[in-house]
Structure 1
Amino acid sequence: MSVVKINVLTVPAEQREVLEQRFAARAGAVENSDGFEWFELLRPVEGTDQYLVYTRWRDEESYLAWMEGGPMKAAHQGGGERPKPAATGSELWSFEVVQSAGAGRE
């Protein structure tokens, strides 16, 4: 059964562009991971300063392997000195996919 992980990032207005540029710069960093199914970065439209980083995985084991493995660490560490985080807070939500619909879906 597929699982969804949503990282909820609190991002001040002045850091939105920074966050989006950082995600764009590491495009492809997760897509080649075993068990990876889907990624979306969702920008808030109104009423909140929280971005949602949506990833879908074949199973919990695939997600954990990515979290503990080299590709995730490389994607989040980069080389040299680390820049200041764009987000001021984060929270992880976890779900199991019960139903799915749409083009290319099961």
Structure 2
Amino acid sequence: MSIVVINALSIPGEAGPELEKRFAARKHSVDQEPGFEGFQLLRPVNGEDRYFVYTQWATRDDFENWRNKRSEAAHAPNDGKKPVASGADLMEFEVVEL
């Protein structure tokens, strides 16, 4: 059963364009991960001020494996840029097959 993981990112002030630029620069970086089914970055429009990062995975294990691998990479040297988000909330859902 597929799962959807949504990361709700709190973005300060006018930092939205920078966040979008950074996601665009690595748009296909997850495409080849086992079990990855899709990605969307959702910009707030009305009644919400957070960006939502929507990913879909074939299984929860696929997501967990990617997250663990990504966590290890987070400790490697980066490009020196500070994070854009000031907070994040992770939500997980199972896709209901109808």
Task: Normalising by structure 2, report the TM-score.
Answer: 0.88
Please tell me the root mean square deviation across aligned C-alpha atoms, in Å. 2.1
Write out aligned runs for 1:50-65 (5 A).
Answer: 50-65=50-65
SS at match of 1:47: coil
Structure 2 distance, partners of 1:6, 1:12, is: 19
SS at match of 1:31: coil
Gaps in structure 2 of 5+ consecutive residues: none
Could you give the per-residue CA deviations for residues 49-96 of structure 1, whole angstroms, max 9, x where no partner exists? 100000000000100111112xx3587678544312111110000000
| Equivalent position of 2:88 in the other structure | 90
Identity percentage over the alignment?
Answer: 44
Aligned length: 98
Structure 1 distance, partners of 2:32, 2:79, is: 26
| Equivalent position of 1:48 in the other structure | 48
Gaps in structure 1 of 5+ consecutive residues: 101-106
| Equivalent position of 1:14 in the other structure | 14
Task: Normalising by structure 1, report the TM-score.
Answer: 0.81
Structure 2 distance, partners of 1:76, 1:22, is: 15
